[in-house]
Structure 1
Amino acid sequence: MLPPRLTPTISTSGRGILPRFHSCIPGLWNHKAGLAIARGRFAKGENGVENGLRTYTYICMRNASSSSSSSSSSSTRWKSRQGKDWFARAAKVKGLRSRAAFKLLEIDTKYKIFKRGQTVVDLGYAPGSWSQVAYERTQPHGRILGIDIIPAQPPHGVSTIQGNFLSRRVQQSVKNFLLDPERGRPRRPLFSSSPDEEDVDDDVVAEEPSYIDLERHMNDHDNGAAGIQSTSPAPSSSSSSSSSPSLEQKQEQEQEQEQENDETKMVHVVLSDMMMNTTGIKFSDHAGSMDLCNAALRFAFETLKPGGHFVCKFYQGAEDKELELKLRKMFAVVHREKPESSRSESKEAYFVALRRNRYVDAATLGYVNDV
């Protein structure tokens, strides 16, 4: 009996057919080629040449269009899923770069993490839908800085740095960018012809140096900082020989140190939508996700203002409990979220950490050698 939906082709000489399908087992499907060979009698002729006494070659009508159809099947399934996905269609209509924007919109609607004029850092910003949401929710005069290893066109009004965020050098570039509180903000008009006239220049963003320029001038910046430190006066011998500082002096020193630390913390919200390419191996995918989350949290520890917020995507697994414990030490309130716009079959979830505590040191979070 012939397999269903097949068209038989008969050849009385298998010399031209058998070498082509020599790797096939007679009677079994060759799914990769989309072909099958029926059971037949084959014999070795003289000089080892294979001769088919009677060979039937069946071409699968379902797969006969081309072998490339199997390779494009995943793309077809993705397009089909996107076409049926309400959030994907809505993102396209609203001009958002991906459906992920609705996840952040849902989180912000519930927890009110954005305010006007904030500084927001978006880690793993590409393609830019989260940055679009942050830009709209912090206007006017908010500033958004996106970082990603993938080159992507920045969304309107968003500054970006391309680089591997796991590199401490790239993180230092981000900090250098943020030190100037006006850098990356929309320019305000110097003059207005009428007090009732709209600020048409509010959306104009200053041109920023490229990532390469930031890397090039980083050493100069570091050397300059070192020079400033070296010119500071050394303590006099009389003060060093005096008795240990009093309690009031210690409190003053602690206040000065806290003020210096607060000056280096210039970010109101840190977003992390970073995710490594998944392998299908749950342990590996979860471990990679935790590495990115911990890098984002350490950056938040170094740059986030007291009272600031932290939103981080993670791949669920055994180690996320440890990450949650760190978050609870650093923030007043921590929530686990699975937005409705997140696909039910996905293992992703989000930590929403609100109101950073002022008095949290590096040792509490396990950053023994923190710089």
Structure 2
Amino acid sequence: MLSCHLFQQLTGSVLLGLTFSPTCICRIASKCAPISPRRAPQSPQIRTASSSSSTRWKSRQSRDRFAKEAKVQGLKSRAAFKLLEINEKHRLFKPGQTVVDLGYAPGSWSQVAVNRTAPSGRVIGIDIIPAQPPRGVSTIQGNFLSPDVQAEVRAYVQDPTLGRPRKRTVISSAEAEEEQLTEDELEEMERGYIDLERRTHLNGGSVESGREADASGGAKGGQEHKMSRRMRDESQGRVVDVVLSDMSAPWEQTSGYNKRSVSDPYFRMMNTSGMAFRDHAGSMDLCMAALTFCFDTLRTGGHFVCKFYQGAEEKALEKKLKRLFQKVHREKPESSRSESKEAYFVALRRNEIPSKEEVFRE
């Protein structure tokens, strides 16, 4: 005799047109298992809010042609195209120049400077955060607003041997077996001896008499002739040809203290803070520090490029630049995003005459 419970199950299956199967019931139950109480469902609104800014940034980078091109060419960032565009228009760089890159990290502007000043140029980068410098760039880590850091940079650039590519040395001939000279020095010695012989032959004298005449004439001429512009610059410590400033004020560090890598320096560098006045005021302080450094170290005829965020004080900075440089231009490169408030002052050909009081007066 069937029990009442089993009879009700069989009756229900017949009415529904189904065949009773305990295994089938178990399979369906396993597919429709209830949510585990240990894993509470997350709110979709919270997940969207936390990842929206990152998603927008990634989407923008994937569509940015300058970011794509920078990756293809092996550049540190898309900012390299800003300097390339400025250089194409104003011709800032020449081979053999000394360039100081303020706020160099991650190093794309320094990459451009190294390429344009090769083979004998030198590039010195300064930044407050640790970063892996590009090949051929000497770097100093420190806050450029600190007087001690500025003094260290001045001392570094005034030594003409520091930061330049090393030249291959060769052993000279029997006249100086123990002395090692570079190829350039040997070539300069040979060229000078040939010119001396040519002049001596034309004058009808000997080599030794020609040397004595050159020495005596040079001594008299050195006393009578005034110092050249280059010598005047070097006597005052002005030895830099181009100063670049792409500095931005860093956010206060709140995380990432355990990271040992120096390959990702943008974790706590700001583009903008969202407060226009704060961004503008911070950029003006950095531009003034860079301009002061230019006055002390930039040689006559040198160039200066600085980034600033637009605001009320930019006119006063432009006036100071016009007192020190022959030409001052405002630039907004094509690779600079249209929504960004950043712009660049390009100051060309430093004047020699103005004093510090004349340049920095209000």
Q: Which is richer in strand?
A: 1
Q: How does 1:50-129 map to 2 (within 5 A)?
A: 63=44, 67-129=46-108
1:307 alignment counterpart: 301
Relative distance call for 1:121 and 1:257 in structure 2 (3 A) is closer
8 Å contact kept, 2:97–2:241: yes
Identity %: 62
TM-superposed CA distance for 1:366, in Å, is 2.4
1:298 aligns with 2:271: no
Aligned counterparts of 2:233 and 2:285: Cα–Cα separation in 1: 25
TM-superposed CA distance for 1:365, in Å, is 1.8
1:42 alignment counterpart: none
Aligned counterparts of 1:184 and 1:118: Cα–Cα separation in 2: 11
Question: 2:118 corresponds to which letter in structure 1?
Answer: Q
Say which is worse superposed, 155-164 or 275-284, in terms of deviation.
275-284
Aligned counterparts of 1:262 and 1:189: Cα–Cα separation in 2: 27
Aligned counterparts of 2:64 and 2:229: Cα–Cα separation in 1: 52
Question: 2:137 corresponds to which letter in structure 1?
Answer: V
Aligned counterparts of 1:257 and 1:333: Cα–Cα separation in 2: 20
Aligned counterparts of 2:338 and 2:360: Cα–Cα separation in 1: 34
Question: 1:168 corresponds to which letter in structure 2?
Answer: P
In the alignment, which of 155, 168, 172 is matched to residue 189 of structure 1?
Answer: 168
2:242 alignment counterpart: 269
Secondary structure of the residue that 1:72 maps to in structure 2?
helix
Aligned counterparts of 1:261 and 1:137: Cα–Cα separation in 2: 23
TM-superposed CA distance for 1:74, in Å, is 1.0
In the alignment, which of 329, 333, 350 is matched to residue 335 of structure 1?
Answer: 329
Question: 2:307 corresponds to which letter in structure 1?
Answer: K
Secondary structure of the residue that 2:170 maps to in structure 1?
coil
Q: How does 1:121-270 map to 2 (within 5 A)?
A: 121-191=100-170, 262-263=234-235, 264-270=237-243
Question: 2:243 corresponds to which letter in structure 1?
Answer: V
Q: TM-score, with normalisation over the residues of structure 1?
A: 0.64
1:249 alignment counterpart: none
1:27 alignment counterpart: none
Aligned counterparts of 1:273 and 1:279: Cα–Cα separation in 2: 16
Secondary structure of the residue that 1:294 maps to in structure 2?
helix
Q: Which is richer in helix?
A: 2
TM-superposed CA distance for 1:75, in Å, is 1.2
Aligned counterparts of 1:122 and 1:142: Cα–Cα separation in 2: 13
8 Å contact kept, 2:233–2:299: no
| Structure 1 residue ranges without an equivalent (≥5) | 1-15, 21-32, 35-62, 193-200, 203-251
Relative distance call for 1:327 and 1:181 in structure 2 (3 A) is same
Aligned counterparts of 1:269 and 1:114: Cα–Cα separation in 2: 8
Relative distance call for 1:340 and 1:148 in structure 2 (3 A) is same
8 Å contact kept, 2:324–2:354: yes
Work out which structure has the larger RCO, using CA pairs closer than 8 Å and 6 or more positions apart in sequence.
2
Tell me how many residue pairs correspond in the alignment: 252
Secondary structure of the residue that 2:143 maps to in structure 1?
coil
Q: Deviations over 1:72-112 (max 9, x none)?
A: 22111111100000000000000000000000000000100
Question: 1:266 corresponds to which letter in structure 2?
Answer: V
Relative distance call for 1:367 and 1:161 in structure 2 (3 A) is farther
TM-superposed CA distance for 1:312, in Å, is 0.4
Relative distance call for 1:262 and 1:76 in structure 2 (3 A) is same
What RMSD, in angstroms, separates the aligned Cα atoms of the two structures?
2.9
Relative distance call for 1:189 and 1:367 in structure 2 (3 A) is farther
2:340 alignment counterpart: 346
Secondary structure of the residue that 1:299 maps to in structure 2?
helix
Aligned counterparts of 1:304 and 1:137: Cα–Cα separation in 2: 18
TM-superposed CA distance for 1:293, in Å, is 0.4
1:319 aligns with 2:292: no
Aligned counterparts of 2:361 and 2:139: Cα–Cα separation in 1: 27
Q: Deviations over 1:92-141 (max 9, x none)?
A: 00000000000000000010000000000000000000000000000001
Flag the structure with larger Rg: 2
Aligned counterparts of 2:292 and 2:128: Cα–Cα separation in 1: 18
Say which is worse superposed, 182-191 or 130-139, in terms of deviation.
182-191
Aligned counterparts of 2:156 and 2:163: Cα–Cα separation in 1: 9
1:363 aligns with 2:342: no
Aligned counterparts of 1:70 and 1:156: Cα–Cα separation in 2: 40
8 Å contact kept, 2:233–2:239: no
